[in-house]
Amino acid sequence: MQKDNLEKAALDGTIRLRPILMTPLPTLLGMIPLALGLDAGSERYAPLAHTIIGGLLVSVVVTVFLVPAVCMVVYGRRDKEAEQTGQPVVLEGGPA
């Protein structure tokens, strides 16, 4: 994968930010009253709500920031090694 294509793919991921955030946000907002434990009996389920909220927040951060960063590092390293050896970069698992 060429560096220009890799950077373009990472920047084009910002287009997908809205759908990525629209998926967990309603669940997060719905869990807030349960996490606060305001109603009778809801204090029993507050730890479950805390866990769900934390998991969703971590998954959003990983999806939006960590995965693109790791891809840039891995493919950037592969491209750099290919430039040093003079061999073309072959992507595995892609269309022929």
Q: How far is CA 49 from CA 26, 44, 62, 63, in A?
A: 13, 10, 20, 21
What is the per-residue pLDDT for 96?
Answer: 47
The per-residue pLDDT for range 22-55, each reduced to its tens digit, is 989 999 999 998 899 888 877 889 999 999 999 9
pTM of the model: 0.66
